[in-house]
Amino acid sequence: MKHDCKETEPLLSGYLEGELTQSERQRVDLILEDCKACAGTLEEMKELRQKEGSMNCESMTTEGKRKLRRGAEEGAGASLGQWLFLGGVLLVYGTGAYLLCVELVADAKFAETGNEEDKFPMLMRIGVPTLLLGLGILFFTVLFQRIRAAKTDKYTDVKI
């Protein structure tokens, strides 16, 4: 299979972590069967991960510990910020969508007045909640795809 090893290399990390889509994983499997260089890189990555797991922090230099701590703190801060934002969006969107849907489905204005002019059309009473649910599902599906893709993005370290 024709490929560029430099383009395949970022996929290998996702391959090890099980973060690739089925088609990407199948593509990497085919590449690994044909390319000894990529298969060797994958083995090196596996060995490096095993060594990281058995790393003794007491033998690290002070600068190494500081870099490791800084990297973990930055990653945790970004992750915490993302989860707080998602939680806020979920609360605001979910509460607003819920209240609107209850108002529409129950047809509260009509129930209160009994006036036929205050009645919402049935298509609106069903259509708006369906639209809001679909929009929410679409938003979160795209969001999680973007998060998953960001982990294997080969351009994350590019500086302008």
CA distance 11 to 126: 44
Model pTM?
Answer: 0.40
pLDDT band at 160 (very low <50, low <70, confident <90, very high): low
Which helix (H) or strand (E) segment holds residue 114: the answer is none
Structure tokens at 107: 């047809």
Residue that is written with structure tokens 């870099």 in the block: 67
Q: Is the pLDDT of residue 126 over 60?
A: yes
CA distance 48 to 13: 11
Q: Is 130 left (phi over 0), alpha (psi -120 to 50) or beta?
A: alpha
How far from chain centre, in Å, is Cα 129?
26
Q: How far is CA 28 from CA 5, 7, 21, 50, 68, in A?
A: 11, 11, 11, 21, 30
pLDDT digits (tens, 9 = 90+) for 32-71: 888 888 888 888 888 877 766 655 656 667 776 666 666 6
Question: How confident is the model at residue 138, as a pLDDT?
Answer: 92
CA distance 88 to 82: 10
- Angle CA(24)–CA(41)–CA(75) in degrees, nearest 5? 70
Structure tokens at 33: 């069967």
Amino acid 104 reads L
